[in-house]
């Protein structure tokens, strides 16, 4: 186990009942690396990143995040979740709390940061995602793009070492996608370790160090974006790419 890898998956298998969703996944992510995972729906790409903070349980293999192995042990799980931020397709903001309260809740109650300190850092991150003026509104009063940027800021408030993005733009109207992607690009440029499940190929080309293509629960192909898009090796990858580029 070398320290340069922040996330390591070794021979990970997962079943939903009889259904074999993940088949022998091996993946090592270096500190500062940006990885994009793509693939057709049902290929297991969301499941993979949801295993990385134990929202899903794997049945076989080893997942080590920042030196902590994810087993059923609650202490380990909580340790990992403090270090790993996650952004969801449906934002999952807490609708009964204001934007600012959404951002300060976890720092105050998980990391025991004082309220004033948490608010100061929350405002800093709201400025970074360019919506400080919405701090006292409720999530239901914001547009989808704004909500997703709040969700990103909420994760950043925990100072995570890794950010997981689970199709962060799939639930957004077209004109709102770019405001979210802009924030993600900036985050990547600042050196954040990121693992993104996304269909935004332009984003992948621009920021990814590595693109991983999954199909039917397996990693089919992985490569640098240039080579991945220009010269895919596997037949299934070629087919997938031709389908999404047609439009």
DSSP 136-162: TS-GGGS-HHHHHHHHHHHHHTT--SE
- The DSSP secondary-structure symbol of 203 reads H
At closest approach, how far in Å is the CB of 4 from other proteins? 25
Instruction: Out of 20, 55, 68, 241, point to the residue binding other proteins (CB under 8 A).
Output: 55
**For residues 5 and 88, which CB has a smaller minimum distance to other proteins in the complex?**
88
Per CB under 8 A, 47 contacts other proteins: no
Q: In this structure, are residues 91 and 139 in contact, taking their beta carbons and an 8 Å threshold?
A: yes
State the Cα–Cα distance between residues 14 and 186, nearest whole angstrom: 34
What is the token pair recorded at 219? 């990693």
Q: Which of 84, 135, 192, 207 binds other proteins (CB under 8 A)?
A: 84
Helix 144-156 × helix 99-110 angle, to 10°:
20
139 binds other proteins (CB under 8 A): yes
Secondary-structure percent of the chain, ordered helix, strand, coil, rounded to 5: 40, 25, 35
Stretch of residues binding other proteins (CB under 8 A), selected from 11-19, 112-120, 150-158, 200-208: 150-158
Residue 154 touches other proteins, criterion: CB under 8 A = yes
149 binds other proteins (CB under 8 A): no
171 interacts with other proteins by CB under 8 A: no
Which run of H or of E encompasses 117?
A: helix 115-128
Which positions lie near other proteins, rule CB under 8 A?
53, 55, 74, 78, 81-82, 84-86, 88, 90, 92-96, 105-106, 109-111, 137-141, 151, 154-155, 158
């Amino acid at each position: 186990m070398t320290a340069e890898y922040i996330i390591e998956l070794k021979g990970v298998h997962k079943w939903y009942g009889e259904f074999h969703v993940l088949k022998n996944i091996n993946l090592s992510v270096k500190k500062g690396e940006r990885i994009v995972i793509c693939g057709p729906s049902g290929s297991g790409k969301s499941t993979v990143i949801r295993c990385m903070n134990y929202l899903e349980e794997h049945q076989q293999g080893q997942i080590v995040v920042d030196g902590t192995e994810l087993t059923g042990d609650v202490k380990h799980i909580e340790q990992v979740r403090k270090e790993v931020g996650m952004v969801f397709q449906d934002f999952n903001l807490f609708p009964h709390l204001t934007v600012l309260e959404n951002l300060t809740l976890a720092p105050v109650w998980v990391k025991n940061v004082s309220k004033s300190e948490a608010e100061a850092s929350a405002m800093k991150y709201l400025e970074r995602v360019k919506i400080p003026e919405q701090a006292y509104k409720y999530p239901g009063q914001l547009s989808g793009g704004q909500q997703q940027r709040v969700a990103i800021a909420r994760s950043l408030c925990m100072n995570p070492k890794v950010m997981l993005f689970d199709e962060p733009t799939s639930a957004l109207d077209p004109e709102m996608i770019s405001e979210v992607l802009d924030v993600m690009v900036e985050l990547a440029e600042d050196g954040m370790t990121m693992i993104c499940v996304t269909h935004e190929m332009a984003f992948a080309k621009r920021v990814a160090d590595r693109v991983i293509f999954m199909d039917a629960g397996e990693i089919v192909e992985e490569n640098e974006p240039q080579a991945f898009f220009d010269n895919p090796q596997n037949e299934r990858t070629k087919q997938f790419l031709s389908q999404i580029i047609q439009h």
